[in-house]
Chains A and B, each alone.
Chain A
Amino acid sequence: MQAFDYVRAASVEDAVARLAASGGQAYVLSGGTDLIVQLREGRRSARVVVDVKGLPEFGDLSYDPDMGLLIGAATPCWRIAADAAIASAFPGLVEAISLIGGVQIQGRASIGGNLCNASPAADSIPALIVHAAVCEIAGPSGRRSLPVEEFCIAPGRTALQPGELLVRVFVPPPAQHSGAAYLRFIPRNEMDIAVVGAGAAVTLDSHGERFVAARIALGAVAPTPLYVAEAGAALAGQPVSPDTIAEAARLAREAARPIDDLRGTAAQRRHLSGVLVRRALERAVERARAR
C-alpha cells in the first residue's frame, strides 16, 4: 500500500475545503470497508484520506413516522438494522443493508459508503431507490439534494462534483398499506457479490387488492443500479395478480442490460431479473397486506 496523508475533518466545511484543494486525489473515509481494501490492493490511489466519521451529521440516525428516516452517510449498518422501529417501517431496506458483509463489516460499513463506492451490484442502492430516497450533498457552493437513482453515473463514479461529499440520506416515511423487499441472487449463501439484486416497493389500496403505486429497481444488470420506472408504473391501478406481477417482472427483465463477467452470464442475469422482481413484488405485497 502506498503512503497517504490521513486527515480527520473538523467540520463539513473543513472536509469540503480539503476535498476541493486536493485536485481529485482525496478520498472520503467513513467505514473504510471498500476504500482501505482498494488502496491496499492498488485499485485506487490517494494523496489524502479525509475521515468524516467523527462529524455529527454523518452519524445521524433518526426516524419519525411523519417525517421519515434520516441516515448519516457514515452511520454503520448495524445501527440501522438494530433499530426496531426502522426495521419495522423499512423491512426491504433493512434486509438489503443486512446483506452487506459479516458482523465485523456491519460495524463499519455505511450506506453512504455503499453509495459513493458506486458499484453496480451494491445491495443498498436498489432498496434506497424503491423507497425514493434522496441524497443530501455538501459542497463549495452549499447543500443540494439529488434523488438516489441519479447518484451513481458509472461503475465506481458518482454525481459528486469536485469538493462535494455525501452527508445524509433521507428516506420518506412509508405510505399506508405499503411494503417493500430486496432480494439478491448469489451462488453461495454468504460472502458474495450480487449476481442480480432486485428491490420492489408497493402501495396497495385499503383492501390490499389493487396496486396504488410501485417502484422497482435492479442491481448488477447495468453500469449503475437501475431504476425501472416503467415496471412500477405498469402496476399502478392494476389488481394484485400473478399476471400483473409477471408483466412487471417482464418489463424489468427487458430493462436489464447485463454483461457476461466472472460473476455470472448475461443470459443468467436477464432471466434472474425477472425471477427476482417477481419474488420481491410477491414479498412486498405480503408485507403491505400485513401492515
Chain B
Amino acid sequence: MTTDTLPADTETVETAAPARPHYRVIGTRPVRPDGVEKVVGRALYGADIYLPGTLYGKVVRSPHAHARIRAIDVSRAAALPGVKAIATAADLPLVEDKILVTGEGSVNQRYQSMNTLARDKVLYHGHAVAAVAAVSPHIAEEAVALIEVDYEVLPAVIDVRDAMAAGAPVLHDDLRTAEEGRKLDGPTNVAEHLRYQRGDLARGFAEADVIVEREFVTATVHQGYIEPHATTVLANADGQITIWCSTQGAFAVREQTADILQTPISRIRVIPTEIGGGFGGKLTVYLEPIAALLSRKSGYRPVKMAMSRAEVFAATGPTSASVIRVKLGATRDGRITAAQAELIYAAGAFPGSPVGAGAGVIFNCYRIPNLQIDGYDVLTNQPRAGAYRAPGGTNAAFASETVIDEVCERIGMDPIEFRLRNGVREGDYRATGPVYARIGLRETLEAARRHPHYTAPLGGPNRGRGVASGYWGNWDGTSSASATVNPDGAVSLSEGSPDIGGSRASMAMILAETLGIDVTDVHPRIVDTDSVGYNDVTGGSRTTHGTGWAVYDLGKKLIAAMSQRAAHLWEVEPEAITFADGVFSCGDHALSFKELAGRLGEAGGPVMVSTTMETTGAGPGFATHLVDVEVDPETGKVTILRYTAVQDAGTAIHPSYVEGQMQGGVAQGIGWALNEEYVYDQAGRLVNASYLDYRIPTALDLPMIDTVIVEAPNPGHPLGVRGVGETPIVPPAAAVANAIYHATGIRMTTLPMSPPRLLEAILAKES
C-alpha cells in the first residue's frame, strides 16, 4: 500500500538516448479512480463483507514454539451454545508435494496444508491448531478457550546458527538438504544450500590491495501492513465456494485453497476486496481454507474470520532473520577484484526463505570477476517466512553495501565514485548469471552525486551521511484484462491485479494513452476470478510491467475492433482506417474514439475485447540513496535528518505513485534499520506481537523523503516500464548504517541498530 504524500522535492532526470516518446497521459498525475471511496470510508476491505446468517470464526493457536500434539479435545467447546462448527487438521485432506510459484518465491502445498492447521506437531508459537465458528465473535472466543490441546513440549530453536548446529532440535524428520541437484543424507534443518560461482576467488583476493571481511546479523521483521488478514467464505452444498478476502492475488488464493481442500479449482470463486497493505505478506492463504471448512461443517453458512494484530505478528509471514558474511577485495584504484558471501536465512517452520533472492541482491550492482555466493535456507521454530518487499534484499544489501563503504574509506575513495567504477551497465553479467539489458544504476549514481544533498553541510556534531545502492530483479508474469466500450465513449476496464500501490490509476492511464482518450474516460475495476483471465499475484513489482503490458495490448485490440466498426460505418475495408491521436479516419471521414463509441449501434454492435499474456522482459530496478543522521551519544538514539532516494523507474507512468513507492520503501527500510525486530523469550515465544512493542516508524520518526526519478527505459517493455515497488527498500538499512558510522566511527553489524545496541557500542568505544 502506498501512503501518498505531498509532492516531495522531486526532480525527473531524463537520461541519454533513446529519447522518450512524447506521451499525452503517461507521466501526468491524475487523481486516482479509487480515491474518493477510500477518503470517505466507503471502500470495502477484507473485514467489511456482511452476509445474512454470518458466523464468526476464531483460531486456537499454539502457546508453544515446538510441541507434539498428543490429543485435541473439542467436547467442551462443541457443547457451548452458539458454536456451530469446529475444525482441526483431521478435517483437511492429505496434500502431496506441489510447488507453487508465487512470484516472490515458491510454496510447497503440502507444507501450506500443515501450516493451515497443525497436523502432528506445532512448529511455532501461534501455529493454528483448531478453529471454531459461532454465532458471535465473543462466543467463538469463549469456545476457543474451551478447546483442550494436550501437548508434549519439545525443545525449540529460533536462531539459524543454533538450528544448523549438531544436535539441534529438528523440525521435520523427513527433511533432507538439497544441494547441487541432490539430497544429502540425514535429518537436518537446512532445507537447501545454493551456490553461485565465477572466476578464481583465490586469485581475485590475491590481486586486492584491501580486503574487508565482516559478519552481520539481522532480526526477524514483519511487513507491518495496517489491515489484518480477513476473509468471508461461503461454501455451498453443491460444492461451490465463494471467498471474499484481502489479498495480493485472487488467483493464488483460489489455487492454494483448491489444493489445500483438494477441491476442483473451478468450483472456487475468489472476490478480492480492497487491500490495506500487503508488501508480500498477502500472497499466501491462512484463514481462507479454515473458513471454508467451517462453512461446510456449519451447514453451509457464511463464515467470517479476521485476525487480531497479535495473530498477524505471531502467525503470518514475517521475513527472515539472517546471518551474512561478506568478504570483498579491491585495488587501491577502486576496482573490485573478488567478493565472497555466505547468507544464512531463517525459513521459519517450512522451507522457503528468500535466501536465493538475497544471493541475487548482494552483489548484483557490481561487475565482479571472481566471486562465490553460498546461501542456506534454514528452518527455525518461527512462522513460515513470507515474502516482504524485495524479499531478502534489505539484509543482503546491509551487509554488502556497508562493506563497500568500509573499502571506500580504506582506499580513500568517494563512495559514489567507487560505485560508478564498479557499477554494472548494459552487457555486464549479473553475479547470479544473466546479462543485463539496458539498466539505470549509473544514472542513479550520477543523479545522486549531482543532488544538492550530497554536498550540503551536515550542520552539527554527531551527524553523518551515508550512501548505498540497491538492486531488485523484478518480475514479469502473466496478466489478463478485458474492456468494453460504453455508448458515452468511456471504457470499462476489468483487470485481475489487486491494487496495492495505485495500479488502477496506472492501468487507466496506459489505456487512455493507447486509445487517445481522457484518463477519466477509463473506469478500471479489479474483478473476481470468474470474470477475468488468469493473473499472477500483485508482487515482484510486476503489475505495472505485466498488467500494464496486457492493458497496452488490450488498447491495441480495442483500436483494431473499433477500426472494424468504423469500416462498417463508412463501408470501407478495415485496412483503410487509420488511427492517430485518438481519431479514426478514412478519406474525408473522421471520428474521435468517443464519437465512434456513440455510433456503435449502427456500426456493427458493441465492442468488447480481452487479452491474456505471459509477459517477459522485466527490467531490473536500481536505486541510490543518501541519508543524513544525528546520533545522541548519550542515548544511542538515531534521528533521520534528511533522506534522498534516487531510482530508475524505466518510464514513470504515474510519477506520484512511483514516488509513493520510493517513500514507502524507504520508510519501511528505516524501520528495519532502527527498531523493528521480533523479540522472543527463552522458550521461543514471541513477546512483542503489537504495534506498541514492534516499532515501525511513526510520522514523527521520519523526515520528508525526497525522491528523484531517473528514467532509463526498459527495452523489454513496450512503454519502457520497470517495476518500482521493491527496489527502494533495499538500500536504506545500509545507507543508515553508513551514516551512523560517519557520525560515530562505529560500524554497526547487527539489525536493528536500536538505541540499546548503539548505546552499548558507543559506551564500549568510549571505555
- Distance, CA A188 to CA B673, complexed state (A): 13
Q: Is B763 an interface residue (CB 8 A)?
A: yes
* Complex partner residue of B634 from A193, A263, A267, A275, CB under 8 angstroms: A275
| Residue numbers in B under 8 Å from A272 (CB-CB) | 635
- Distance, CA A43 to CA B308, complexed state (A): 15
| Residue numbers in A under 8 Å from B698 (CB-CB) | 188-191
Q: Is A14 an interface residue (CB 8 A)?
A: no
| Residue numbers in A under 8 Å from B237 (CB-CB) | none
Q: By the criterion CB–CB under 8 Å, are A271 and B695 in contact?
A: no
1/0 per residue, CB under 8 A from B, across A109-152: the answer is 00000000000000000000000000000000000000000000
Q: Enumerate A164-208 residues with CB–CB distance to B below 8 Å.
A: 185, 187-193, 195
Q: By the criterion CB–CB under 8 Å, are A262 and B679 in contact?
A: yes
1/0 per residue, CB under 8 A from A, across B140-152: the answer is 0110000000000
Q: Is A264 an interface residue (CB 8 A)?
A: yes
Q: Is A268 an interface residue (CB 8 A)?
A: yes
In the complex, what's the smallest C-beta–C-beta distance from B298 to chain A, in angstroms? 23
In the complex, what's the smallest C-beta–C-beta distance from B357 to chain A, in angstroms? 29
From known contacts A3-B138, A185-B637, A272-B635, infer whether A192 and B756 are also in contact, taking CB-CB under 8 Å.
no
Q: By the criterion CB–CB under 8 Å, are B693 and A262 in contact?
A: yes
| Residue numbers in A under 8 Å from B138 (CB-CB) | 1-3
Instruction: Pick from B13-21, B486-494, B658-666, B684-692 the stretch touching chain A.
Output: B684-692
1/0 per residue, CB under 8 A from A, across B679-714: the answer is 100000001100111010110110000000000000
Q: By the criterion CB–CB under 8 Å, are B142 and A2 in contact?
A: yes
Q: Enumerate A44-71 residues with CB–CB distance to B below 8 Å.
A: none
In the complex, what's the smallest C-beta–C-beta distance from A285 to chain B, in angstroms? 18
Q: Is A38 an interface residue (CB 8 A)?
A: no
Q: By the criterion CB–CB under 8 Å, are B692 and A192 in contact?
A: yes
- Distance, CA A199 to CA B674, complexed state (A): 27
Chain B residue at smallest Cβ distance from A191: B698
Q: Is B409 an interface residue (CB 8 A)?
A: no
- Distance, CA A191 to CA B675, complexed state (A): 13
Q: Is A25 an interface residue (CB 8 A)?
A: no
From known contacts A187-B695, A187-B755, A262-B687, infer whether A267 and B700 are also in contact, taking CB-CB under 8 Å.
no
Q: By the criterion CB–CB under 8 Å, are A190 and B700 in contact?
A: yes
Q: Enumerate B728-767 residues with CB–CB distance to A below 8 Å.
A: 754-756, 759-760, 763
* Complex partner residue of B635 from A1, A185, A188, A263, CB under 8 angstroms: A185
| Residue numbers in A under 8 Å from B755 (CB-CB) | 185, 187, 195, 264, 268
In the complex, what's the smallest C-beta–C-beta distance from B643 to chain A, in angstroms? 16
Q: By the criterion CB–CB under 8 Å, are B635 and A275 in contact?
A: yes
| Residue numbers in B under 8 Å from A11 (CB-CB) | none
- Distance, CA A189 to CA B756, complexed state (A): 16
| Residue numbers in A under 8 Å from B634 (CB-CB) | 275
In the complex, what's the smallest C-beta–C-beta distance from A99 to chain B, in angstroms? 12
Q: By the criterion CB–CB under 8 Å, are A193 and B635 in contact?
A: no
Tell me the interface secondary structure of chain A in the complex. Answer: loop
| Residue numbers in B under 8 Å from A190 (CB-CB) | 698, 700-701
Q: By the criterion CB–CB under 8 Å, are B687 and A268 in contact?
A: no
Chain A residue at smallest Cβ distance from B690: A41
Chain A residue at smallest Cβ distance from B141: A1
Chain A residue at smallest Cβ distance from B679: A262
In the complex, what's the smallest C-beta–C-beta distance from B751 to chain A, in angstroms? 14
In the complex, what's the smallest C-beta–C-beta distance from A231 to chain B, in angstroms? 18
| Residue numbers in B under 8 Å from A195 (CB-CB) | 755
Q: Is A88 an interface residue (CB 8 A)?
A: no
Q: By the criterion CB–CB under 8 Å, are B688 and A189 in contact?
A: no
Q: By the criterion CB–CB under 8 Å, are B760 and A187 in contact?
A: no
- Distance, CA A267 to CA B760, complexed state (A): 8
Q: By the criterion CB–CB under 8 Å, are B693 and A187 in contact?
A: no
Q: How large is the interface on B (under 10, 10 to 19, 20 to 34, 35 or more residues)?
A: 20 to 34
* Complex partner residue of A191 from B692, B754, B763, CB under 8 angstroms: B692
Q: By the criterion CB–CB under 8 Å, are B756 and A268 in contact?
A: yes
Q: Enumerate A245-272 residues with CB–CB distance to B below 8 Å.
A: 262-265, 267-268, 271-272
- Distance, CA A121 to CA B622, complexed state (A): 44
| Residue numbers in A under 8 Å from B674 (CB-CB) | 187
| Residue numbers in A under 8 Å from B142 (CB-CB) | 2
Chain A residue at smallest Cβ distance from B687: A262
| Residue numbers in B under 8 Å from A267 (CB-CB) | 756, 760
Q: By the criterion CB–CB under 8 Å, are B635 and A189 in contact?
A: no
- Distance, CA A185 to CA B636, complexed state (A): 11
In the complex, what's the smallest C-beta–C-beta distance from A265 to chain B, in angstroms? 5
* Complex partner residue of A193 from B141, B636, B687, B692, CB under 8 angstroms: B692
| Residue numbers in A under 8 Å from B759 (CB-CB) | 268, 271
Q: By the criterion CB–CB under 8 Å, are A188 and B693 in contact?
A: no
In the complex, what's the smallest C-beta–C-beta distance from A247 to chain B, in angstroms? 17
- Distance, CA A1 to CA B679, complexed state (A): 26
In the complex, what's the smallest C-beta–C-beta distance from A275 to chain B, in angstroms? 5
- Distance, CA A268 to CA B756, complexed state (A): 6
| Residue numbers in A under 8 Å from B701 (CB-CB) | 188-190
- Distance, CA A271 to CA B633, complexed state (A): 12
- Distance, CA A188 to CA B634, complexed state (A): 16
- Distance, CA A276 to CA B698, complexed state (A): 23
Q: By the criterion CB–CB under 8 Å, are B695 and A264 in contact?
A: no
| Residue numbers in B under 8 Å from A268 (CB-CB) | 636, 755-756, 759-760
| Residue numbers in B under 8 Å from A191 (CB-CB) | 691-692, 698
In the complex, what's the smallest C-beta–C-beta distance from B102 to chain A, in angstroms? 32
Q: Enumerate A1-17 residues with CB–CB distance to B below 8 Å.
A: 1-3
- Distance, CA A191 to CA B695, complexed state (A): 9
Which of A190, A268, A275 has the most chain B CB atoms inside 10 A of its CB? Answer: A268
In the complex, what's the smallest C-beta–C-beta distance from A148 to chain B, in angstroms? 26
1/0 per residue, CB under 8 A from A, across B608-642: the answer is 00000000000000000000000000111100000
In the complex, what's the smallest C-beta–C-beta distance from B628 to chain A, in angstroms? 17
| Residue numbers in B under 8 Å from A264 (CB-CB) | 755-756
| Residue numbers in B under 8 Å from A188 (CB-CB) | 675, 695, 697-698, 700-701
Q: By the criterion CB–CB under 8 Å, are A187 and B754 in contact?
A: yes
In the complex, what's the smallest C-beta–C-beta distance from B196 to chain A, in angstroms? 37
1/0 per residue, CB under 8 A from A, across B157-181: the answer is 0000000000000000000000000
In the complex, what's the smallest C-beta–C-beta distance from A183 to chain B, in angstroms? 11
- Distance, CA A3 to CA B138, complexed state (A): 9
| Residue numbers in A under 8 Å from B675 (CB-CB) | 187-188
- Distance, CA A275 to CA B701, complexed state (A): 22
* Complex partner residue of B637 from A3, A187, A263, CB under 8 angstroms: A187
| Residue numbers in B under 8 Å from A265 (CB-CB) | 756, 760
In the complex, what's the smallest C-beta–C-beta distance from B750 to chain A, in angstroms? 14
| Residue numbers in A under 8 Å from B700 (CB-CB) | 188-190
Q: Enumerate B239-282 residues with CB–CB distance to A below 8 Å.
A: none
| Residue numbers in B under 8 Å from A187 (CB-CB) | 637, 674-675, 695, 754-755
| Residue numbers in B under 8 Å from A193 (CB-CB) | 692
- Distance, CA A106 to CA B35, complexed state (A): 31
In the complex, what's the smallest C-beta–C-beta distance from B690 to chain A, in angstroms? 9
In the complex, what's the smallest C-beta–C-beta distance from B736 to chain A, in angstroms? 14
Chain B residue at smallest Cβ distance from A102: B698
- Distance, CA A190 to CA B702, complexed state (A): 12
Q: Enumerate B91-148 residues with CB–CB distance to A below 8 Å.
A: 138, 141-142
In the complex, what's the smallest C-beta–C-beta distance from B455 to chain A, in angstroms? 28
| Residue numbers in A under 8 Å from B636 (CB-CB) | 268
- Distance, CA A284 to CA B165, complexed state (A): 54
- Distance, CA A169 to CA B277, complexed state (A): 45
Chain B residue at smallest Cβ distance from A274: B634
Apart from A188-B695, A271-B759, 18 more pairs, CB < 8 Å = A1-B138, A1-B141, A185-B637, A187-B675, A187-B695, A187-B754, A187-B755, A188-B698, A190-B698, A191-B691, A262-B679, A262-B687, A262-B693, A264-B755, A265-B760, A267-B756, A268-B759, A275-B635
Where the two chains meet, the residues of B that have a C-beta atom closer than 8 Å to any C-beta of A are: 138, 141-142, 634-637, 674-675, 679, 687-688, 691-693, 695, 697-698, 700-701, 754-756, 759-760, 763
A-B pairs, 4 with minimum CB distance: A189-B700, A268-B756, A262-B679, A275-B634
15 A-B pairs within 8 Å (CB atoms) are namely A2-B138, A3-B138, A187-B637, A187-B674, A188-B695, A188-B697, A188-B698, A188-B701, A189-B698, A192-B695, A195-B755, A262-B687, A262-B688, A265-B756, A268-B759
